[in-house]
A and B are shown apart, each in its own frame.
Chain A
Amino acid sequence: MSDRQTIRGAAAALRDGSATSVGLTRAALKTASMTESQVHAYLTLDTEGALEAAERADSQLAAGDDRGPLHGIPIALKDNMVTEGIETTCSSRILSGYVPPYSATVVDRLEEGGAVITGKTNLDEFAMGSSTEHSAFGPTRNPWDTERVPGGSSGGSAVTVAIGSALGALGSDTGGSVRQPAALTGVVGMKPTYGLVSRYGLIPFASSLDQIGPFTRTVADAVDVLATIAGHDPHDATSIPGALPDLGAGLGRGLEGVKVGVVSEMQRDETEPAVRANVAGIIEQMEASGAKVQEVSLPSFEYALSAYYLIAPAEASANLARFDGVRYGNRVNGANVAEMMSKTRADGFGAEVIRRILLGTYALSAGHFDAFYGQALKVRSLVRRDLDAAYEQVDVLVGPTSPTTAFELGAKTADPLTMYLTDVFTIPANLSGHPAISVPVGLDDSGLPIGFQVMAPALGEEVMYRVAGEVERLAGFTARASLASSEVVAP
């Protein structure tokens, strides 16, 4: 794919003079204006700021001041990354109207790299959800079928890339919130090694699991976005020090001799037949292309979801204590401090956020700590140990990203546990801190996209991208969502 709907294609066009950043940005904004009433991917479109940044990028490039692969490229941001001067809500009533006084490190790095920030995208409130239905400002819809969800929690960001109202986007992945919506909308979505991308200015959900990652149309584009935002940040104590590895060094090197582990526990009966068939077909093609494929069993996998739904709510209950109506955000008055805080939080948080705060509070409370939270942390060690042992034998692990394709709006909102089960294949990489990527590989009988997941050991981005790039080539996935615009081709 070398067209201008990819970052690499657009970057080449910007440099050979056949496109301008203003042209690319106008096309993205026009696509947004034509599709937003149907998909609601954006919460805030920064039309004026984007066009100014695009004009600046054009003059910089014309003057030979080339800032790298994202220079002049329209990029959307999930609305849980703070942006100085642009409203940032986390899709929550409690932060409605909040205009941050500073920007997240990833935003600074995008701006230093000359990227054009188009706006802020919709998410499940505070990134808690798998469908982008839990937004205080209404759901985002899937451009392949607007009666279906785009996945979540970064559903808005996924949709901007799927339809071309941005050429790339950032999401955050705590339990699969980049990879699962990427799978359900037919784009590439990647979660880096924990600590590779700074979390400074990412409004936290579960701090030991959260990691910012890119949405793009291609694997090569994902390398370019990650290379721009990754790297040590002294403002994030969990940021990995030292120089960045050459993330894209493995692209195009084929699969000859690459050891691929197929995770037995990810071949579940509950997984939709079309997903299983597509994934199995790709694995066969990988083997035919020279990969050494073997089955790998990770016995702790089936406990990962349970551990996650103790650890993530526990961390969330502590992180969200800051929203108390005192220093920022909205307030509901009360006769005393406790009543003001209790009413503020009841009014400001949606039902799913309240549910997770209650779960976390319970798991951390006296008498339950050891049996729930403490035990979950030990299971986390077991998941990590199983994965480390697997990576002694293989270079990457593969399987489906999600057990299902996009489901209908409302299908899983009444039963939270059913919704949580959609993250069963993505959660292990968050618990272990390992990198993982979802690549679109096909469509099911209803014409809905299927994602293929490649997982790698810590800081194994190079081999992960190498394999993901081959999966992309073998799958030859070129379908576009019915709502996707052809507008971005115009210079």
Chain B
Amino acid sequence: MPIDIDIAHVARLARIHLSEDELAEHGRHCADILEHAAKVQALDTEGIQPTSHPLPLVNAFRDDVVSPARVLARDVILDQAPAVEDVYFRVPPALEDE
């Protein structure tokens, strides 16, 4: 079953800027892979519950205390950022977005 993908739309959703050539190549590869992956649709899964996680663990609680060894200073965090201003991450204007 051939898969028809609007690859430009998918790339926009994923926030990845691609050239026309790159879009065409990724579109082709993704269609091939999805066609193979679509084999899962051939299986009868009526009444089968999905498994999103291999462990039956639920509600993994820990004590509500701060572990000082795991706390990072604000400056350490800000030092990782490509651009900061005062104590904030700095980004280009957001309101012109699309």
Contact = CB atoms under 8 A, between A and B. Distances in A.
Interface string A172-199: 0000000000000000000000110000
Interface stretch (A60-68, A148-156, A290-298, A336-344): A336-344
Given A238-B57, A238-B60, A382-B45, A317 B14 contact: yes
A356 to B, nearest CB: 9
Contact of B33 (A330, A331, A379, A420): A420
Interface residues of A, number: 74
A432 B62 CA distance: 26
A102 B14 contact: no
Contacts of A376: 37, 40
A300 B37 CA distance: 14
B54 interface: yes
A238 B48 contact: no
Nearest to A365: B13
B86 to A, nearest CB: 16
Given A101-B76, A354-B26, A327 B10 contact: no
A214 interface: no
Interface residues of B, number: 56
A334 interface: yes
Given A336-B93, A355-B30, A357-B16, 5 more contacts: A337-B94, A342-B16, A359-B33, A381-B51, A416-B29
Nearest to A308: B37
B21 to A, nearest CB: 12
A358 B37 contact: no
Nearest to A354: B16
A170 B7 CA distance: 37
Nearest to B54: A433
- Nearest first, the 9 A-B pairs at minimum CB distance are A433-B54, A377-B50, A331-B82, A342-B17, A378-B45, A328-B80, A237-B60, A234-B62, A346-B17
A238 B18 CA distance: 36
B77 interface: yes
B24 to A, nearest CB: 13
A407 interface: no
19 contacts: A101-B79, A234-B62, A306-B40, A307-B40, A309-B33, A327-B89, A331-B82, A336-B96, A337-B92, A338-B97, A349-B16, A354-B16, A362-B34, A363-B37, A375-B40, A376-B37, A377-B50, A379-B43, A416-B32
